[in-house]
Structure 1
Amino acid sequence: MDHPDPDAGPQPHRSLADQTYLRISDKIIRGEYAAGHRLREREISEDLAVSRIPIREALPQLEADGFIATFPRRGAVVRGFTLKDVEELFDVRLNLEVFAARKAAESVAAGGASPRLAELMDRTKAAMLADDVPAIAAANTAFHAEIIAMSDNSLLDTAMRPVLGRLRRLFALTSDRDPQAQYTEHLALSAAIRAGKPDLAAALAYAHIELGREPSLAQLAARIPAS
C-alpha cells in the first residue's frame, strides 16, 4: 500500500486501504483508540462501515508508522507514544530531513519546480487565520512530506514513511505550540529551497527541527510516559 498523503482526510481518489489507514490513524491521534486498545477487525469494520479487507491492508502500514503493535494471540494493539519516542524522532529527523532539504534545494537549482511548497504555506496561513488547529497540524506535516518528495530519492522516501507517521502524531499532541513561530521557520526554509540554496536550506532545516525539540518535550512531559 502506498503511504497516504497526511495533509487531508479520506478522499475518493485514494484507495480504500489508504482511506482506512487515515481514518484509523486519526482516531488514534485523537485518542478515540487509546494506547493499549485492542483493534479488533470486526469492531473497526462496524465503526468505520467498511469491510475487513481494507482494514487488513491498512494494519501493516499502521504498524510500520508506529501507531500499533501486533502480538501473538492478542493481535493489533494501539502503541503508546513516549518521550523516548519523541527524542528518537527528533534525532532521526536531524539526519534525514536535513539531507532532504539539501536535496530539494539542489533539485530546484538544477531546474526543478516547487509550486506545492508555496501552496502549503498559503494553506498554513489560512488555517492559522481560522484558528483551525487540526488543519495547521495537517499542513505542517504535509510541508515536511513535500520536502521529502522533492528530494527525488526513493530510498529516502521509503525511510521517511514511518517518520512522517510519527510526525503526524507529534504535531497533533503539540498543537498548543506557537503556530506563528513554526510558520515563520517554514517560510524561511521554503524560501531557501525555492531559491535553490542547498547549504542554507540544510542549515535552516537543522535549526527548525532542533528548535522544536525542547518545547515539544516540555509540553509532553506531563502527558505521556518517559519510556
Structure 2
Amino acid sequence: MVPSDGTAGRPLRESIRDKLRERIIEGTYGPGDRIVERDVAADFGVSRLPVREALRMLDTEGFVEMLATRGVIVKKLSRRDVLELFDVREALEGLAFRRAAERLTKRDATHLGALRSKARKALEAADGPALHGFNEEFHDTVNRLARNDLLASILEPLEGRLHWIFRQNDRPDQLWREHEELLAAIVDRDGDRAADLAVAHVRVNRDRVLSHLFGDHPEGTAAAG
C-alpha cells in the first residue's frame, strides 16, 4: 500500500508512479499487459485520481500506452526504441565514466569497492535478480560520481527506461564482469580507458539486447525498425 500522503512529502501520484514503474522494470507487468486503474487504486488503497495521474506520467516517460480500445497497457519495446536508447547511452555514458574516473575521491573508491564485494557475492550465489540490481546501482553511482549537474539532469528522466533496458539482458553475470573492468578503470582514475570501455560496453550490450528481444544478429543492428 502507498501511504495516503505519498512518501517523504512527495505527491501521491509520484509515489504511485514509482511503484508502478518498478513493477514494469522488474517484470511484474510485462509488455502488452493491461494496467487497470480501478485495480491499482484498490491495490494501493487510494482513489483513482492519483492512479490516473501516475499512469499519464508513465505514458509520458514511455513505459505505457493509453489505447482507446484496450485502456492502459505496458509498452512493447520496438527495435527503434531500443536503438534510440542505446544511441543516447553511448553518447552520454562515455562522458559520465570519463568524468567519474577523473573526479574520483577516496570515499568514492571505498563505495565502489563495497559495491564490488556485494556483487561478487551475488555472482558466486548465481543470484540473477540481485546482480541486476547491482548492475543498475553501478550505473547510477557512476552518474553521480561524474559530478556534472547538467549531465545528471539529462539522464534523470531516462534512468527508468535505461534500467528497463538493463533487465532485457539475460546475462546479468556477464554484465557484471564487464562492469568490473569499468570499475577498475575508474578506480585507476584512467578517464580515457573508462570512456573507451564504456562505449564498447554499450555497443556489445546493444547487440545482446537486440538478439534477446528480436533475434537480431550483430550485423543487423544498424537499421531501425
TM-score (norm. length: structure 2) = 0.77
Alignment of 1:148-159 (within 5 A): 148-159=143-154
Q: Alignment RMSD, CA only?
A: 3.1
1:29 aligns with 2:25: yes
Instruction: Give the Å deviation of 1:101.
Output: 0.6
**Structure-1 separation of matches of 2:168 and 2:33:** 18
**Structure-1 separation of matches of 2:181 and 2:9:** 32
Gapped regions of structure 2 (runs ≥ 5): 1-6, 217-223
The percentage of aligned residue pairs carrying the same residue is: 36
TM-score (norm. length: structure 1) = 0.76
Pair 1:22–1:215, CA change in 2 (3 A): same
**Structure-2 separation of matches of 1:134 and 1:13:** 27
The residue aligned with 1:202 is: 195
- Larger Rg belongs to: 2
Do 2:63 and 2:75's aligned partners in 1 also have CA atoms closer than 8 Å?
yes
1:214 aligns with 2:210: no
Do 2:65 and 2:72's aligned partners in 1 also have CA atoms closer than 8 Å?
yes
Alignment of 1:1-20 (within 5 A): 20=16
Instruction: Give the Å deviation of 1:55.
Output: 3.8
1:187 aligns with 2:187: no
- What do the CA deviations read for 1:142-200 (whole angstroms, capped 9, x no partner)? 1111111111122211211233212221222223x261x32222112112112222111
1:99 aligns with 2:92: no
Alignment of 1:1-227 (within 5 A): 20-50=16-46, 52=48, 55=51, 58-59=54-55, 61-70=57-66, 76-108=72-104, 113-175=108-170, 177=171, 179=173, 181-222=174-215, 227=225
Do 2:128 and 2:172's aligned partners in 1 also have CA atoms closer than 8 Å?
no
**Structure-1 separation of matches of 2:126 and 2:14:** 28
Pair 1:136–1:64, CA change in 2 (3 A): farther
**Structure-2 separation of matches of 1:198 and 1:17:** 40
Larger displacement relative to structure 2 (72-81 or 146-155): 72-81
**Structure-2 separation of matches of 1:124 and 1:57:** 36
Do 2:100 and 2:143's aligned partners in 1 also have CA atoms closer than 8 Å?
yes
**Structure-1 separation of matches of 2:129 and 2:178:** 19
**Structure-2 separation of matches of 1:72 and 1:155:** 37
Do 1:66 and 1:165's aligned partners in 2 also have CA atoms closer than 8 Å?
no
- What do the CA deviations read for 1:51-76 (whole angstroms, capped 9, x no partner)? 55764664465345421245689875
Pair 1:150–1:65, CA change in 2 (3 A): farther
